[in-house]
Amino acid sequence: MAVTDDPAPDQWRIGVERTRAVPAQLKSFNQTDADAARTHGMTAACLDRLTDLGLDHHREGRERLFDDRDLANIALLLGLPTPLRRTMSSWSQTLLHKAEGTTTRRSVQLLAKCPEPGHAGACEYELNPAIGRCSVPGSLHERQAGRYTFQIETPNADHFLGPEHGEFVARMSAMEFHFIPPALTHDLDFATATGLADCRLGALLARQVATALGFEVRPRNGYFLAGPYMLWHNWIEILDGDWFAVDPFWLTTLARWQVPGIEAWPTVRSPQPLLWQPADEQDGRDFYYLLSHNGAPMRPAMMSAPCRS
Ligand SMILES: [Zn+2]
User: Ligand 1 center to residue 114 CA distance, Å?
Assistant: 4
Tell me, in angstroms, the distance from the centre of ligand 1 to residue 289's CA: 16
| Same domain flag for 282 and 157 | yes
Helix (H) or strand (E) holding 199: helix 199-212
Q: What is the pLDDT of residue 282?
A: 42
Ligand 1 geometric centre to CA of 298 (Å): 11
Mean pLDDT, residues 214-238 taken together: 92
**Cα(30)–Cα(51) distance, integer angstroms:** 15
- For residue 101, the SS3 value is coil
The pLDDT of residue 160: 97
What one-character DSSP code corresponds to residue 213? T
Phi and psi, residue 22, nearest 5°: -95, 125
Domain end, chosen from 29, 46, 81, is at 81
Question: Which helix or strand (DSSP H or E) is residue 9 part of?
Answer: helix 9-19
Residues 140 and 268 in one domain: yes
Is 2 within the bounds of a domain?
Answer: no
At 287, the pLDDT band (50, 70, 90 cuts) reads low
Q: Kindly state the average pLDDT of the residues 218-231.
A: 90
Distance 295 CA to ligand 1 centre (A): 11
CB burial string 111-144: b at 16+ within 10 A, e below: bbeeeeeeeeeeeebebbebbeebbeeebbeeee
Whole-structure pTM value:
0.90
Q: Are residues 162 and 201 in the same domain?
A: yes
Question: How much distance in Å is there from the Cα of 110 to the middle of ligand 1?
Answer: 16
The H-or-E segment that residue 144 falls in is strand 141-144
Q: Which residues contact 141 (CB under 8 A, 6 or more apart)?
A: 148, 149, 150
Query: Distance of CA 218 to CAs 152, 212, 236, 262, Å?
Result: 22, 13, 6, 25
Q: Into how many domains does the chain fold?
A: 2
User: Distance from the CA of 143 to the center of ligand 1, in angstroms?
Assistant: 16
Closest CA to 219 of 232, 194, 200: 200
In residues, how long is the chain?
A: 309
Q: Which of 47-56, 57-66, 216-225, 287-296 has the lowest mean pLDDT?
A: 287-296
Specify whether 203 is located in the same domain as 142.
yes
Which pLDDT tens digit goes with each residue over 173-210?
Answer: 999 999 999 999 999 999 999 999 999 999 999 999 99
- The pLDDT mean for the chain works out to 91
Gyration radius (Cα) of the chain, Å: 21
The answer on 70 and 151 residing in a single domain is: no
Report how far residue 15's alpha carbon sits from residue 42's, in angstroms, rounded to the nearest whole number. Answer: 14
Beta bridge partners of 276: 223
Residues 54 and 122 in one domain: no
pLDDT of residue 279: 65
Average the pLDDT over 204-222 and give the result: 96
Domain range for 174 is 104-309
Residues 239 and 279 in one domain: yes
Identify the bridge partners of residue 275 per DSSP, sorted by sequence position. Answer: 224
Q: Residue 253 domain-assigned?
A: yes
Cα dihedral 166/169/175/179 (nearest 10): 170
CA of 292 to the centre of ligand 1 (A): 10
CA–CA gap between residue 231 and residue 229 (Å, rounded): 6
| Cα-to-centroid distance, 201 and ligand 1 (Å) | 32
Report yes or no on 220 lying in a domain: yes
H or E stretch covering 152? strand 147-155
Q: Residue 280 has what pLDDT?
A: 52
Ion ligand 1: residues, Cβ under 5 Å? 114, 123
The answer to whether residues 71 and 114 belong to one domain is no
Same domain, 129 and 193: yes
How sure is the predictor about 134, in pLDDT bands with cuts at 50, 70 and 90?
Answer: confident
What's residue 288's pLDDT?
65
- Residue 113 contacts residue 106 (beta carbons within 8 Å): no
Of 48, 66, 81, the position where a domain reaches its end is 81
308 falls within a domain: yes
Same domain, 197 and 228: yes
How far apart are alpha carbons 185 and 181 in whole angstroms? 7
| Same domain, yes or no: 69 and 129 | no
Q: How far is the CA of 140 from the centre of ligand 1 (A)?
A: 22
Distance 109 CA to ligand 1 centre (A): 19
Domain contains 207: yes
Domain boundary among 81, 112, 145: 81
Tell me the C-alpha to C-alpha distance, in Å, between residue 239 and each of 69, 211, 244, 275: 35, 11, 7, 17
96 belongs to a structural domain: no
Residue 122 inside a domain? The answer is yes
Q: Are residues 133 and 20 in the same domain?
A: no
In a domain, 95, yes or no: no
Contact (CB, 8 A) for 116 and 107 = no
Q: Where are the beta strands (DSSP E) in 180-295?
A: 196-197, 217-224, 231-240, 242-246, 275-276, 291-293
Residue 46 CA to its chain's centroid (Å): 26
pLDDT, tens digit, 9 for 90 and up, residues 32-62: 999 999 999 999 999 999 999 999 999 988 8
Residue 43's CB is within 10 A of a number of other CB atoms, namely: 12
